Amino acid sequence: MNLLDLWLSRSIPMCLLLQSLVLMALCFPSASMCPKGCICQLDPHLHGLNVTCSQSRLKEIPPTLPVNTVLLRLDHNQIGAVPDQAFHGLRVLRELNLSYNAVETLGEGAFSGIEGTLQVLDLSHNRITSVHKDAFARLKARVIVDDNPWHCDCALQQAISGMAHNREATARVLCRSSELHDLEGRPFLAVDTDLCNLAKRTTDYAMLVTMFGWFAMVISYVVYYVRQNQEDARRHLEYLKSLPSKPKKPDEADDISTVV
């Protein structure tokens, strides 16, 4: 065996090994890609990863998630907020489960970047009281929002109107609190009041009350000022009256006697 044959006999197995490693890296996620406390499994039907982080005691959404995640389970944790663009790089995400967490509010960009692919969004059993009016505006997914302490206001009414295609979800929104106390405990869809105009009227009323208060203060000050001046004038007049009369001069007295 010459040197060429020897080199080929050793190089070919090495090339095959490298090819195998490359294929494994492409087909299976590495441990470094999967967030701590999560399990990442390849889904052969959806051609992506199922990332399960359920019951992992997470207090925030993992900052690094595999870009080919198609199903993300973050349920039963202690996540308190969904930052804007938290899922921006997940371009093939189809299902997002955030149920049984401690989320209190949702901003305008909470689901930015996944509007076109997301099919299911589970936000049930959280602490959501309010959302930005455009939080769900571009979502086409089925949204589950059961069991949240909703505060029924103008922003929520606008957000609900943007979910007209998802009537099943909006029908489950119950008012825990509201500016109108008679709405508490009622389904939000039963609200026939324009809460945005109500808020505007409330603001106008507050401005009117404030202006009236300032006007009353000005009038009170003017009345006080006039009365105080009158009192000062009266005291000054009394003081002048209390002064003794001016005594007559001797020359004036002699003139009077001569005339008599």
Residue 58 is predicted with a pLDDT of 96
pLDDT for 38-81, tens place per residue?
999 998 888 899 999 999 999 999 999 999 999 999 999 999 99
**Predicted confidence (pLDDT) at residue 173 exceeds the cutoff of 70:** yes
- 249 — pLDDT class (breaks 50, 70, 90): low
Mean pLDDT of the chain: 78
- List of residues 6+ apart from 99 with CB closer than 8 A: 75, 76, 122, 123, 124, 125, 126, 144
**CATH label of the domain that carries residue 115:** 3.80.10.10
Is 87 within a domain?
Answer: yes
Categorise residue 55: left if φ over 0, alpha if ψ from -120 to 50, beta otherwise: left
Give residues with Cβ within 8 angstroms of 177, minimum separation 6: 129, 149, 150, 151, 152, 184
Is the same domain home to 111 and 80? yes
Boundaries of domain holding 221: 194-225
Q: Decide if 149 is inside a domain.
A: yes
* Res 15 pLDDT > 50: no
Q: What is the C-alpha to C-alpha distance for residues 95 and 197, in angstroms, rounded to an integer?
A: 36
Same domain membership, residue 170 and residue 43: yes
Same domain, 95 and 119: yes
Backbone φ, ψ for residue 178 (5° rounding): -170, 160
Query: Is-contact 66 46, C-beta < 8 A?
Result: no
SS3 content of the chain, % helix, strand, coil (to 5): 40, 15, 45
pLDDT value at residue 196: 85
Cα dihedral value 80, 196, 139, 49, nearest 10: 0
User: 1-35 burial, b if ≥16 CB within 10 A, otherwise e?
Assistant: eeeeeeeeeeeeeeeeeeeeeeeeeeeebeeebbb
Query: Which among 153, 143, 197 is positioned nearest to 175, based on CA atoms?
Result: 153
Q: In this structure, are 123 and 170 located in the same domain?
A: yes
Most confident listed range (37-41, 156-160, 197-201, 238-242): 37-41
Output the pLDDT for position 188: 74
Whole-prediction pTM: 0.64
What φ, ψ does residue 34 adopt, rounded to 5°?
Answer: -85, 130
Residue 164: closest CA among 197, 133, 137: 137
- With respect to residue 219, please indicate whether it lies within any of the assigned structural domains: yes
Cβ atoms of 102 and 81 closer than 8 Å: no
Half-sphere exposure of 55 (CA within 13 A, CB side): 0
Other residues' Cβ atoms within 10 Å of the Cβ of residue 157:
18
pLDDT band at residue 246 under the 50/70/90 scheme: low
Are 36 and 62 contained in the same domain?
Answer: yes
**The one-letter amino acid at 252:** E
- Please tell me whether residues 115 and 202 are part of one structural domain: no
CA angle 146, 150, 153 (to 5 degrees): 135
Whether residues 68 and 169 share a domain: the answer is yes
